[in-house]
Structures are given as C-alpha cells and as structure tokens.
Structure 1
Amino acid sequence: MNKWYCLLLVLVGLGCGKGDNSYVPSVSVNFQAPLADPKLIKLNSVGGSVIISGYGVAGLIIYRSGASSYVAFDRCSSYQPEKRCAVTIDDTGLTATDPCSAAKFLLSDGSPVKAPATRSLKPYSVYVNNFNIFVSN
C-alpha cells in the first residue's frame, strides 16, 4: 500500500510545475472585407493566400482551400508564441515558415510539417457570402 502511495506522490509531483505558456494568446478578431478588395485578389483562385496585418496576435493568413472554402490562421507561430514571430507564406504557396525557428506549417489546415513546431497555427472562423469575407473567433 505504501508503495502505491509513494508512486502516486511521484506522479503528482511530476505533473506539477509551471503553467504551460506555449499557446498563442486569445485576442478578439473581427475582420471583414469585400472579396473584390484588391488586397484580396489572390483569394480569387484555389490555393491563393493573403496576409492581413493588424488583426490577431501577429496578423492573419487567409487561404482559399477549395472552390468555396477558406481557412484563416493567426500568423503568430505556435512554437514559442511568446516571441510573437509572424510566419510568412513560402514561395510554393502551400506552407508558411516561422522565421525565428524555421518551423513550417501547411496553409490548408495550419498543421506543423517541420520541427520544432508540434502544434498547429491558431485557427479562426471564416464566413463568406457572395461579396464579403468575415474572419472572427
């Protein structure tokens, strides 16, 4: 019985410690723009992506993943988010790279594809009607 009690104390002790600050902070996001805006021209075709500054923690990336589907992510890298390194869209248009750590993320779903990142980019909700795009959380 004492052996199990000691094991439980060890496991609880290992689980305690500093809080996990490795998540991108939650901030209010409420972006909207007409799809005809020249800044969004790259969203006219599937696989197109744009960077929007001034929203989220480090800006937004909006990616057109299908004929009528879009995804949006915070540009703040999920690897050491306290550094607030803004990912940049790669020349391929398929991935984004954290310039601080060289981690890479798929734009189609935000998932990490190159270490050291292990978490996806922070996603936001996207709604599109015939003329406008809305990104929020």
Structure 2
Amino acid sequence: MKTLFGLLLFISICTSCAKEQNLIPDFPVNFNMPLTDPRLSRLSSAGGAVSFSGYGVAGIIIYRRADNAYVAYDRCSTVNPDQKNAVEIDDPNLTATDRISGAKYSLYDGSPVKAPATTSLKRYSVTIAGNTLQVTN
C-alpha cells in the first residue's frame, strides 16, 4: 500500500511539474530591421515597445529598457501555450497582457506579474550590428 501511494505521489509531482513549465516550442526567429525604419520609432527612447507578427510562435515584442538595452520576447502567452495566444503591449509600455487568460508580463525581463501566469515569456537574443537591430534564437 505504501509503495502504491509513493508511486502515485511521484506521478502527481512529475505531472504538475510538467504543467508548470508551459514551454513555448522552439521556432526559428531571424528578424532584421534598420534602426531608422519608422516601424521601430517607438524604440527611439527607453520604455518604448513594438510588436511584429510572423516571427516566432505568435509574433515578437521588442522593448527598450531604461538602461538602453533591447530585449525581445515571443508574444506567445505561457498560459496554455498550445493555444498560441499572442500577448498585447499595454499602455504605458511596461507590461503585456494575454487578453484570453488575463495573464500579465513585465516587458523589462518577461517575468509574470499577474496570475495565472507563472512562467516568463520566451526570450530571444537581440544584437545591434551597425545600424541594424537583429532578433534571433
């Protein structure tokens, strides 16, 4: 009986851990755009954010932090990622919200700031090469 209980407890823990991760699938991202492109004008100062469809799982968000570093995330919400719900940039540009679940994420580091989100947005690499902003994974 103790063995059966132990086995059920182990399976329960493993199952709950798998659900908690809410992994966003890997999807090739290769975004390149000149910093002078008008579509990136919101990134001209700290706190600016832009989003683009057609990249990653549900699109990408690029955010310029107060330290002038750029960060990029997949727009796919980590709540029910199989549904591929795209988060939307809030006004002001400090957070992004999954309108389906109500989950909210910080654009500074992608971390969840409102339940039911428990996992950060998937982050991509951002580099500036000359005058071109590149987002890759």
Query: Is the TM value for this pair above 0.5?
Result: yes
Residue equivalent to 1:14 = 12
The yes-or-no answer on 1:118 pairing with 2:118 is: yes
Gaps of 5+ in 1: none
Residue equivalent to 1:24 = 24
What SS does the corresponding residue of 1:66 show, helix, strand or coil? coil
Deviations 1:2-26 (A, max 9, x none): 96x5664344343455964831111
Read off the aligned partner of 1:14 and give its amino acid letter.
S
Displacement of 1:83 in angstroms is: 1.1
Residue equivalent to 1:63 = 63
Question: What is the RMSD of the two structures over their aligned residues, measured on CA atoms?
Answer: 2.1
Question: 2-side partners of 1:14 and 1:81: how far apart?
Answer: 21
Question: 1-side partners of 2:9 and 2:90: how far apart?
Answer: 43
Question: 1-side partners of 2:60 and 2:44: how far apart?
Answer: 17
Residue equivalent to 2:105 = 105
- Structure of larger gyration radius: 1
Moved more, 105-114 or 66-75: 66-75
- CA distance change for structure 1 residues 8 and 59 in 2, over 3 Å: closer, same or farther? same
Moved more, 82-91 or 15-24: 15-24
Gaps of 5+ in 2: none
What SS does the corresponding residue of 2:65 show, helix, strand or coil? strand
Question: 2-side partners of 1:87 and 1:120: how far apart?
Answer: 12
Deviations 1:17-65 (A, max 9, x none): 5964831111010111100001000111000000011100010000001
TM-score, normalisation: structure 2:
0.88
Question: 1-side partners of 2:94 and 2:14: how far apart?
Answer: 39
| Structure with more helix by fraction | 2
How many residue pairs match? The answer is 135
Contact 2:22-2:119 within 8 A present in 1 as well: no
- CA distance change for structure 1 residues 36 and 75 in 2, over 3 Å: closer, same or farther? same
